[in-house]
Structure 1
Amino acid sequence: MSEKLILIDGHSILNRAFYGVPDLTNAEGIHTNAMYGFLNILFKFLDEEKPDYITVAFDLSAPTFRHKVFDGYKGTRKPMQPELKQQVPLMKELLKAMNITVVEQEGYEADDILGTIAKESAAKGIDVSIVSGDRDLLQLADEHIKIRIPKTKKGVTEVEDYYPSDVFNLYGVTPHEFIDVKALMGDTSDNIPGAPGVGPKTASAIIQKYHSLDNVFEHLCELKPPKAKISITENVEQIKMSRFLSEIKIDVPIDYKVEDSKAGDFFNENSYELFKKYNFKNMLKKFENTDIIAKDPECYEYFKKISDFADVENVFNKAVDIAGGIEKIGLSIVRENELIAVGITLSDTEIYYIPVSGFVTESYLADRLSDVVSVASNRNIASANIKDYLDIFEKDKINGYPLVSEKAFIDTAIAAYLLHPSNESYDYESLGREFLSLTYPSKTELLGKLSINKAVNEAEDNLIKYACLSSYAYYKCADKITEQLKSENMYELFETIEMPLIFVLFEMQQQGISVDKQALVDYSKVLGTKISVLEKEIYEAAGEEFNINSPKQLGVILFERLGMPNGKKTKSGYSTAADVLEKLAPDYPVVSKILEYRQLAKLKSTYADGLTQYISEDGRIHGTFNQTITATGRISSTEPNLQNIPIRMEMGKAIRKVFVPKDGFVFLDADYSQIELRILAHMSGDEKLIEAYNSSADIHRATAAQVFGVPLEEVTDEQRRNAKAVNFGIIYGMSSFGLSQDLSISRKEAKEYIERYFASYPTIKTFIDGLVSDAKEKGYSLTMYNRRREIPEIKSSNFMQRSFGERVAMNAPIQGTAADIIKLAMINVYNALKEHNLRSRLILQVHDELLVETAEDEVDTVKQIMLDGMKNAVSLKVPLEVDLKEGKDWLEAH
């Protein structure tokens, strides 16, 4: 069997990968998508062909021009995108680290190098595969040279293979004749001229008949079709130049020996470090069976399952001693519906798995864990997602609050989130990779799709690994994460906001919110009736029945049957997105009905019917509040999302009426007034805005007076409305286009409003510009509390992505600061309710709003607690105002 050589066109595949893989960056902000895509393609061909040799050819410099010159002409290419250009030298470095031969030659392009190596190797009887996205290389195909062109379709890489017969079947010409086909066509991507108007089919037909350009030029008078004849006749010299530029050289004077490019030893210490650096998580698994990283890290030898009562007691006694001092322990809780086991790390060589078994009952395990936690106060119990397990440590309570000190824990997931808030995961595998430079098998790799309960019986060895590995990772990472938080000036944020908040959110989840189930059923019926009426009215206006929920059918009805204007048809049909319909609604009543139908259908399915499944046996919904989901720092709500209850339409507001306090209680709802604008005033230091707030002026009316140059008392309602739109638009980096859409005015008018605003508040303009320039320099933004938001998009060469990044840079410091302040307010209110030994409980947070289920005899005390806790959460240059209401349901309180 012949030996095999794979030749890869470096720039071509890197370029293809760059545009085929969404933008990726590592922790340092280095773009990595082209490298990631390149490696995927590389591994695909290595797995398929298992070559004896491999070589990658690059142009010596970034290919912004062609080196071949024809009578002084150089074909030109578009400049390389900066994000791609950054990755070229990194890709070369990575390939060399993988012991893959990289070839470059001054004065020659990669395709000339590939052509030379391919022909010389084929002459030695070696089978060659050339991998490239450039069809010019088809001219090299012969019985020992296969051209392989990868194409990505819907995220899947497919490959077209070409031997001479394949070239002939597709183009009707030989590989050598293909050069002349290309010469006639030209190449717009390289700005290589050919015969204008002559496409692939015509060029192929002409060369099929005449076989060479020289013969074509000798028969110009008989060429067909007439348009091609004219174009070729008028551009003979241009076509000759095109042929010269299209022909690949096969005699480049290059110092290359195929024997020196043996394939193998791809996965070594050098490549491992680079794969880690660029966060190629999936590819790190390729190192598992090498000496670089053993499948089982060294700590595995210290994993010990213990269920003997005396051994367990000794471990917990030692854990209590450690937790009472300053040394750390690692703790991993394993449970499904009930406590199954504990993974606990006491030192590098003391890593234990303690399952519920025999004398070690679930209650015993919970009690002993409580003993450990109760003595800890130096953040020396390292774990992750602690909120999910706080109920285990509820052995002792006062007035329903567990006696667990929040100073006992360091939640490694939350700490890692603060450092990289856009990461997908903060599990032990991610922590190990980032902070320990170790690749651990993931929970999925160890347990597959098994539930914890099933794993106990079917995969206990791997369950032990999962519990011990995670506890060990938390233990080993804790100090490193703490050091990094301190070095990045984020430890105070972690210490004073995020860690205490865990206990607040836990209590909110435990309390839940009461729902009047019958009212929910009645609400669903009302919605159903309204939806049925709307359906009939829509069918009547359309002249036929159709599926209103089908965008395709709806598009046909609106833009074909009813003939509405501005229908934009795509492969999947007309767009019927909300913004499209909202533009049509003022002139077409049926469109208004369709929009209302959609809103009501959403209310019914998501809330009226959807909430029912979340009501527990106690009649309350116990949702989940998440700290590590949003990049802004805001808390999110899931199962269900109670933060997204619609309030803009009357029927949407009505859903709040089904949320009610328990008997003997009322709801107190407190909402910050214009907190983000107040933060803008404080952070920018704009004296006029600060003065307006300190004088208790209507801020939107005051802004209108400034912007439109009229006395405060003469500001019209329309001017105030426009000023309000600008006020809030500025915070979110709104453009003149966005403002014009909001106010239904021209972009010119909107632009003038924004310019007037910045002329009236010049300090704000300077402040916002500063936020953008700082983010461009650092790659991230910061809140008042040093919360970081990474913004890789701000350095993108893509205008849309860069504009998005700039808007984020304007808004993230303000929105993130608002998130920090409401968290501080929650902590204040929670602590005060607890310290006053009250029965009232904080049960819900929605953006800038807090809801407390308040005992009727505690209303006055709680009102003061809420006002004090929220107003005094932070000291700004302007006062924090709070709107506080009382009600017998959430709607009435809001």
Structure 2
Amino acid sequence: MEKKLVLIDGNSIAYRAFFALPLLNNEKGVHTNSVYGFAMMLNRILEDEKPSHLLVAFDAGKTTFRHATFKEYKGGRQKTPPELSEQFPFIRELLNAHRIPQYELENYEADDIIGTLSLHAEKEGFEVKVISGDKDLTQLSSPATTVAITKKGITDIEEYTPQHIQEKYGIKPEQIIDMKGLMGDASDNIPGIPGVGEKTALKLIQQFGTVENLIESTGDISGNKLREKVEEHKDLAALSKKLATITREAPVEITVEDTKYLGMDPGKVVSIYKELGFKTLLEKLDEEIPGEEAAVQEDIDFRIVTEVTSDIFAGENGLYIEILEDNYFHGEILGVSVSNEKGNFFIPAQLALSSASFKEWAEDEMKKKTVYDAKRAIVALKRRDIQLAGIEFDVFLASYILNPSEQAVDVAAVAKAQLEISLQPDEVFYGKGAKRKVPSEDLLSEHLVRKADAVFKLKEPMITALEENEQYHLLTELEMPLAIILAGMEIQGIKVDVDRLKEMGVELTSRIRSIEEKIHTLAGEEFNINSPKQLGVILFEKLKLPAAKKTKTGYSTSADVLEKLEHQHEIVREILHYRQLGKLQSTYIEGLLKVVHSDTCKVHTRFNQALTQTGRLSSTDPNLQNIPIRLEEGRKIRQAFIPSEKDWIIFAADYSQIELRVLAHIANDAGLIEAFRDDMDIHTKTAMDVFHVSQEEVTSNMRRHAKAVNFGIVYGISDYGLSQSLGITRKEAGNFIDQYLKSFPGVKEYMSESIQEAKQKGYSTTLLQRRRYIPEITSRNFNVRSFAERTAMNTPIQGSAADIIKLAMINMSERLKEEKMQARLLLQVHDELILEAPKDELEILMKIVPEEMERAIELTVPLKVDYAYGPTWFDAK
């Protein structure tokens, strides 16, 4: 086998990935863009290079042996954004999952590790590939070593061989350090000779060969000014060359043989991809993963029911209803299983759904049932005209409350975590992707009764665990009542004016064509706007807009690139608008039309009740929480959502700044409390305190900055994050945050106390005792610990806000019943509740909706609700 060593500059690639990709978050709120970029780079390296040996080198710390020579080395560099720092542990986990060796060495840089190992490998007859974003490493290029430097982004690279360096600079690889010695390197704070740039440095090197030769022959330099510069700063040139030189004799304790690549651990790679939410990478990996072993299961006795009679039910029952499809509103019921003190029973789906005895038992409120995912079961049975009642315990929701970070995938996962019972996971039993299928009834029946048996056995130990955590009320008084309400909302659905939606599609198509024509006019020719290659030529060659250097694949025309050029040419604004409208057309017009139920002209979104760690609800099929309303055309999509009855209206009510009100309460900050009690605009109040101005002196820009920091504090924003959102320097952003905390000392004290409490307990809690476990809060790794501390600060705020609107939904549902109203809840979107009601109920609705929402919980500041109504969701704004 050919010996090939790939050496990766870990810090450099991580930085490149972070700044090349937009800030991404997984479902747990962890930033993932750098890890994602790193993973893509790894996949490409493994596929293209097929290395026999592989190593990722990291910098060990901020201080190296170079600082002893020049203490200002790398001085002036901005500190690493915490959004990037928190990702390094995940990058290391990714490498461990791939079984890729990693190494760092105290007092040395990753460059020195790479320089030393590449030399050793060359001597042992290896082909070597170095991958970095730092051109300093090009000095290592040789006939055996190619240095690949990432350009814009992470997958676009330029390969430096001795021949390429000669063609590009007219020098040899070993002379790169002489070039750096003369021109310096601002990124590393290497001074060089003041006033000497790359062009002059190359000219001198081509004439004199080395810095040392130049210093000895200054009299031969043409040009008095240049000669004087070199003579005056020759010591700086010598020092700079020394600083730029990568040592190839670092005392590394590993050998080239230690870098042998053994291949990845598929299970661990899948695990980290799942944790970080890398769905695309998971799909790509899926075919390469070997099948999982079936769980070793104990024997179980059960009976396949041929006639449903009352004797198969007992006082308490574990009930499990299997719907294989994620979209259970339309999904087929495969079977029903029941477990109790009499035994385990499998009821074929057709028999259960046609049996009067089963219907009578299922609908009897007095017949208590423990289920897995009450909402799913209620919706599935209601679609078959069975109103499931008597649900006493939900294993799925209990598992979510006990540990929201361990999302319950199926009964097997909960049974394993809670009771150490081994069940075959659904992915193994049914298969995945194209291999997914329903086995024979004898196998299916056993699989389902094992689930019902586990559900039945899980109830008591889970109640004990919930009571120990003081969380049993959270299940019984909040999540389970909410599940029943959400099930009703899913079944009810929201009506869509299909004709209006199609009209909007026609209007949008016309608008897109109009913008397309305008773009072609501005460009002076027709071209494919959706082709990055053609678009790049128009923008950067024909119109001469500034761009990064052209790569093999053309110019980058990504959104972040275009947004920076938006004010330089009208065509850029039109292209961005064209893309936005194109996404609206495909995702929200065509996408919605695909999921409108043909019988009812409604969409039946599914609410995810046990997904986020903060307790927030989300929705899918379709996702009605992400309709882009900042764009006028996006807001208009809400015109297509209408009441399901004639002479009814849509009524929408939302909490005003609920998270900031929760912050005021939890932090007990006098300034925030006073502002909310006086019904002041909180962003104006913040601007007054931070900028030390009167209310009349607050400008719109001051208020915008104050708003950003207000909401930023809620989400644990850093100086880097604030600087990005406001377009200011990190220093300005840091000063702004400092001034904010001085103005609101209660908030600062809360932030400190919330971190200390999480360290003591290992978790943060909401006002209703919802927990979020944060084991990383005591990590010895600074970056991991910093992210955990921000999580500890924002979890009580976000989680309490989520709990409050859930309480409001329960109270609202009860109030509508008490008032004997026809009005009903349709949707929950973030901090907003959407209802539909007859017009003659409007007056009472305007009274009771704010009442119930505002008294959902008692805080030290008043909750405030705004509402509106109209013939469409768009009008209810």
TM-score by length of 1: 0.63
Which residue type is aligned with residue 408 of structure 1? Answer: F
Code of the residue aligned with 1:830 in structure 2: it is S
Q: Where does residue 768 of structure 2 map in the other structure?
A: 785
Q: Distance in 2 between matches of 1:634 and 1:828?
A: 18
Cα deviation code 1:171-196 (max 9, x no counterpart): 3899x974344234336355556666
2:805 partner SS: helix
Q: Kindly indicate whether residue 653 of structure 2 is the aligned counterpart of residue 671 of structure 1.
A: yes
Amino acid in the other structure paired with 1:390 = I
Q: What's the CA shift string for 1:354-406, capped at 9, x where partnerless?
A: 876xxx657369986996897998884335xx534423333997xxx924245
**Superposed CA offset, 1:223-274 (max 9, x none):** 689998776666278438735972645596x8777778877698699x9999
Does residue 179 (structure 1) correspond to residue 174 (structure 2)? The answer is yes
The answer (yes or no) to whether the contact 1:138–1:147 under 8 Å persists in 2 is: no
- Residue matched to 2:162: 167
C-alpha distance after superposition, 1:52-81 (max 9, x if no partner): xx686979x8253443699x5578345884
Give 1:511 deviation, angstroms: 1.4
CA contact (8 A) 2:404 2:613 kept: no
Distance in 2, Cα, partners of 1:607 & 1:752: 41
Show the counterpart of 2:478: 497
Q: Does the C-alpha gap of structure 1 residues 92 and 880 become closer, same or farther in structure 2, counting only changes over 3 Å?
A: closer
1:390 maps to which residue? Answer: 378
Distance in 2 between residues matched to 1:29 and 1:426, nearest whole Å = 20
Structure 2 contact 403–773 (Cα < 8 Å) conserved: no
Q: Matches of 1:127 and 1:738 in 2, distance apart?
A: 44
**Alpha-carbon distance change, 819 to 182 in structure 1, aligned in 2, over 3 angstroms:** same
3-state secondary structure, aligned to 1:873: coil
- What SS class does the counterpart of residue 807 from structure 2 fall into? helix
Q: Report the equivalent of 2:324.
A: 334
2:316 equivalent in structure 1: 324
1:705 and 1:715 in contact (8 A); partners too: no
- Confirm or deny that 1:419 pairs with 2:417: no
Higher alpha-carbon deviation: 12-21 or 549-558: 549-558
Relative to 1, partners in 2 of residues 1:15 and 1:534: Cα closer, same or farther, differing over 3 Å? closer
- Counterpart check, 1:296 vs 2:302: no
Contact residue 179 and residue 243 of structure 1 kept, 8 A = no
How far does the alpha carbon of each residue in 1:458-496 deviate from its partner, in whole angstroms, 9 at most, with x for none? Answer: x99999999899999989999998888777766644543
Q: CA deviation at 1:824?
A: 1.2
- CA deviation after TM superposition for structure 1 residue 85, in Å: 8.2
Instruction: State the percentage of identical aligned residues.
Output: 28
8 Å Cα contact 1:515/1:620 also seen in 2: yes
Q: Which residue of 2 aligns with 1:767?
A: 746
Report the CA distance between 1:807 and its aligned residue. 10
**How many Å separate the matches in 2 of 1:652 and 1:34?**
32
Question: Alignment partner for residue 622 of structure 1, among 589, 603, 618?
Answer: 603
> What SS does structure 1 have at the residue aligned with 2:389?
coil
Q: Distance in 2 between matches of 1:891 and 1:268?
A: 48
Amino acid at match of 2:389: V
Q: Structure 2 vs 1, CA of residues 532 and 273 (structure 1 numbering), >3 Å: closer, same or farther? A: closer
Per-residue deviation, residues 632-657 of structure 1 (Å, max 9, x unmatched): 65444555555577889999888767
Q: How many residues align?
A: 829
Residue number in structure 1 paired with 2:17:
20
Task: Name 1:830's counterpart in structure 2.
Answer: 813
User: Match of 1:746?
Assistant: none
**Cα shift readout 1:79-123 (whole Å, capped 9, x = no counterpart):** 884978899999999999999888888887776677667666766
From 430, 434, 441, the counterpart of 1:450? 434
Contact 1:29 1:792 in 2 (8 A): no
Counterpart in 1 of 2:825?
842
The answer to whether structure 1 residue 510 and structure 2 residue 505 are counterparts is no
CA shift in 2, pair 1:45/1:855, >3 Å:
closer
C-alpha separation in 2, matches of 1:228 and 1:685: 65
TM-aligned CA distance change 1:702 to 1:355, over 3 Å: closer
Distance across 2 between alignment mates of 1:248 and 1:633: 52
2:6, 2:55 within 8 Å by CA — same for their partners in 1?
yes
Conserved? CA contact 1:513–1:621, under 8 Å: yes
Segments of structure 1 that go 5 or more residues without pairing to the other structure are 709-713, 744-749
Amino acid at match of 1:295: E
State the alpha-carbon separation in 1 of the partners of residues 226 and 737 from structure 2: 55
CA distance in 1, matches of 2:528, 2:147: 44
Report the CA distance between 1:296 and its aligned residue: 0.4
Equivalent-residue separation in structure 1 for 2:614 and 2:651 (angstroms)? 24
Cα distance 1:832–1:447, how it changes in 2: closer, same or farther (>3 A)?
same
Contact 2:26 2:277 in 1 (8 A): no
Higher mean displacement: 575-584 or 482-491: 575-584
- Which segment drifts farther, 507-516 or 328-337? 328-337
Aligned with 2:768: secondary structure?
A: coil
Alignment correspondent of 2:238: 239
Once residues 602 and 280 of structure 1 are traced to their aligned partners in structure 2, the CA distance between those partners, rounded to angstroms, is 22
2-structure distance, mates of 1:68, 1:738? 32
CA distance in 2 between counterparts of 1:420 and 1:33 reads 22
Contact 1:828 1:873 in 2 (8 A): yes
State yes or no: 1:381 paired with 2:376: no
* AA aligned opposite 2:404: L
Q: Quick one: distance in 2 between partners of 1:610 and 1:20?
A: 31
Larger displacement relative to structure 2 (484-493 or 594-603): 594-603
Map of 1:711 onto structure 2: none
- Please tell me the residue identity of whatever aligns with 1:167: P
Whether the aligned pair in 2 keeps the contact of 1:418 and 1:787 (CA below 8 Å) is no
Corresponding residue for 1:747? Answer: none
What SS does structure 2 have at the residue aligned with 1:402?
coil
**What is the CA–CA distance in structure 1 between the aligned matches of 2:619 and 2:739, rounded to whole Å?**
39
Asked if the contact 1:789–1:812 (Cα under 8 Å) also holds between the matched residues in 2, the reply is yes
Structure 1 residues 49, 486: closer, same or farther in 2, change over 3 A?
A: farther
1:831 Cα shift? 3.6
Go from structure 1 to structure 2 and tell me whether the alpha carbon gap of 1:514 and 1:575 turns closer, same or farther (over 3 Å shift): closer
Q: What are the equivalent positions in structure 2 for 1:594-609 lying under 5 Å apart?
A: none
Moved more, 152-161 or 634-643: 152-161
Letter in 1 for 2:493: G
C-alpha distance after superposition, 1:292-344 (max 9, x if no partner): x993043378799x9xxx535699999955x926xx77765314744253597
Distance 1:428 1:243, change over 3 A: farther
**Structure 1 residue 770 displacement after superposition:** 3.7
Query: Which residue of 1 is the match for residue 353 of structure 2?
Result: 363
Judging changes above 3 Å, is the alpha-carbon distance between structure 1 residues 285 and 514 closer, same or farther for their aligned structure 2 residues? closer
Structure 2 CA distance for aligned equivalents of residues 198 and 752 of structure 1: 35
Judge conservation of contact 1:670–1:885 (CA < 8 Å) in 2: yes
Counterpart Cα distance in 2 of 1:441 and 1:333:
15
Letter aligned with residue 767 of structure 1: G
Root-mean-square deviation (CA, aligned residues, Å) is: 7.7
1:76 paired to 2:68: no
* Counterpart Cα distance in 1 of 2:372 and 2:816: 28
Q: 1:654 to 1:858 in 2, by over 3 A?
A: same
1:684/1:44 Cα in 2 relative to 1: closer, same or farther (>3 Å)? closer
Structure 2 gap segments, 5+ residues each: 549-554, 727-732
Return the TM-score normalized by structure 2: 0.64
Q: 1:147 to 1:674 in 2, by over 3 A?
A: same
Cα 1:430–1:224 shift into 2, 3 Å: farther
Matched, 1:820 2:813: no
Partners of 1:406 and 1:394 in 2: CA distance = 14
Judged with a 3 Å threshold, the aligned counterparts in structure 2 of structure 1 residues 157 and 105 are, in CA distance, closer, same or farther, namely: same
Query: Structure 2: which amino acid aligns with 1:508?
Result: M
Q: Are 2:811 and 2:856, in contact at CA under 8 Å, matched by a contact in 1?
A: yes
Q: 2:55, 2:508 → 1: CA distance?
A: 64
